[in-house]
Structure 1
Amino acid sequence: MTDVLTAVRTHLGEHFRRAGITAEPTAASVTFLGTERIEVLRFGPDSDGVAHYVSVGCSRHPMFDPTELVTDAIHGPRAEVVVTLRGSTPKGLARSVAVLAAAPAVEGLVLEEDALIDLETPLWESSPFTAFLLGHSDIEEVPLPDPLPAVTIFSATPITATEAAWVRLKGADAMREAWVTDGVDVLDPRRRAASPS
């Protein structure tokens, strides 16, 4: 059986070396009761002060909806998530990334682009953000040998409860358009919330 997590780590290292981040990542390890360990690797910061926090562990098993009568232990989708932020590491962020990455195993969620994952608690100490909006990331899929599907790395953007409500009402694309219109820097952990009308 292919060691999926080793393939993910190798792929991540190659991706960030190409991006100019040559230092080995720092790692935090989180284990939740009844689940396998999730690691969160921090790559960077780069020359612009931007760091990338990537889960390793979600892709250990394929994701599937527990309400489905038939599950596919081989061909089901696999994923990891990356949170990209500018500045020093917020205290508690690694745990929130691990909670997100563990959601498929714990909650039976299938991570996919434009999904809203609401943790309903601050994502890090004194954070106004309580949810993640998943989207496309710059990290290419991690190829695995047949018959396993590639591992998708989703970006996970921290959002406020107000923004989460907007996503539920109008959709993920409308939220992203509002950020652009309002000049919101989603990489800033101290950013203000968008105020879409």
Structure 2
Amino acid sequence: MTEAVLTAVRAHLVASLSGATGPAPESASVTFLGLEPIDILRFRAADGLTRFATLGCSRHPMGDPTATVADPTRGPRAELVLSLHRADGLTAGVHRSLAVLAALPAVEGVVLTADALLDVGEPLWEGAPFTAVLLQASDVSDLELPEPADPVAFFDAVPITANEAAWKRLRGADALRDAWAEAEIDVRDPERAAARM
């Protein structure tokens, strides 16, 4: 069923984001030792918005890594979407960072959910001030899978700085979003300033 899931997820992403490149987004594959590959699809829109979407995280359900037997069908599934304005030439290494984040459920048993903070501990791309992402609901709708499988959820991965990550831990995701709104910060700007706390 795993390949059928990925085929369906890819088709869903293309249908949802096809205003960018049509049926064939650019694709890069990242492989980690002992894990199945994670693909990163890049959709470019005419308005300068580039969207990077993971493909492979939803291959298996997320669950408790300490469970004696993993359920191969039931359990939450997810993929990540990172959206940036004017990303060309600024995002070397972003594919690997996204693949690392998408591999967390398989490697560390992390269950991806809205408002989760995922920290890679290094710049998300070369020269970036962002070392983590805050997950939030995406405008890509959930993908229903045949029963008994749970649907695939899609989360926007919003890049955040170390200070913003500390603020989120202290005050919560809503407070961080309020700070962005108050400062009129565009979180899709790869060169944006950090929110002042």
TM-score grouping bracket, smaller chain normalisation: over 0.9
Give the corresponding residue for 1:41.
Answer: 41
2:180 is the alignment partner of 1:159: no
Identity rate, percent: 54
Q: State the number of aligned residues.
A: 194
Deviates more, 1:50-59 or 1:86-95: 86-95
Give the aligned CA root-mean-square deviation in angstroms: 1.5
The correspondence of residues 139-158 of structure 1 with structure 2, limited to 5 A, is 139-158=140-159
Flag structure 1 segments of 5+ consecutive residues without an equivalent.
none
Give the corresponding residue for 2:131.
Answer: 130
Deviates more, 1:60-69 or 1:92-101: 60-69
For normalisation by structure 2, the TM-score amounts to: 0.94
Give the corresponding residue for 1:25.
Answer: 25
- Could you tell me how far 1:71 is from its partner in structure 2? 4.3
Letter in 2 for 1:74: T
Deviates more, 1:151-160 or 1:84-93: 84-93
- Could you tell me how far 1:152 is from its partner in structure 2? 0.3
- Could you tell me how far 1:142 is from its partner in structure 2? 1.3
Letter in 1 for 2:134: L
Looking at structure 2, the residues matched to 171 and 67 of structure 1 have their Cα atoms a distance apart, in angstroms, of: 28
Letter in 2 for 1:57: G
Give the corresponding residue for 2:55.
Answer: 56
Q: Tell me, what secondary structure is at the counterpart of 2:27? A: strand
The correspondence of residues 100-139 of structure 1 with structure 2, limited to 5 A, is 100-139=101-140
- Could you tell me how far 1:88 is from its partner in structure 2? 2.8
Letter in 2 for 1:40: I
Q: Do the aligned residues in 1 keep the contact of 2:14 with 2:23 (CA within 8 Å)?
A: no
Looking at structure 2, the residues matched to 139 and 21 of structure 1 have their Cα atoms a distance apart, in angstroms, of: 16
